[in-house]
Amino acid sequence: MKYDAVLKKLENNEITSKNALEQLYPVKKQKTGKRATFIKMNISVPEEGKGVNTFLKILFMLPFPMIFARLGLRLGSRFIKDAEGVDIPEIIKLLKYSKNTIIDVDSKDAQIQIKIV
């Protein structure tokens, strides 16, 4: 019914084509992800021995608040001026709404697991 009424108004020049398009196909709100609050890291460097790995486990034992990660990215972006294709504000926005994400990095030098909670 709405479709016919809008087309009739458009035919009679009561509304513009742009208004008719907006009435027929309204813009839907985008859903955002859940806000992340903490980051938990687990870093293991097999070549460095037990002492370094123990220190890293103690250092990252407790999860730290997301605000520190975003603050670190903002401060770090001052020093990254020539990086092409890296949009720091977009990365900060992605981190903000990335709850329940797990990032695993396995290389021959280190094994890193980042959980965003």
Cβ contact 103:113 at 8 Å: yes
Q: How much of the chain is in helix, strand and coil states, percent to nearest 5? A: 45, 20, 40
CA distances from 103 to 41, 45, 46 (A): 10, 17, 19
In tens, the pLDDT along 36-66 reads: 899 999 999 999 889 999 999 999 999 989 9
Average pLDDT over residues 65-86: 83
Q: How confident is the model at residue 114 (pLDDT cuts 50, 70, 90)?
A: very high
Model confidence, pTM: 0.63
Q: Is the pLDDT of residue 80 over 90?
A: no
pLDDT score recorded for residue 69: 87
- From 87, 59, 57, select the one nearest 74 (Cα to Cα): 87
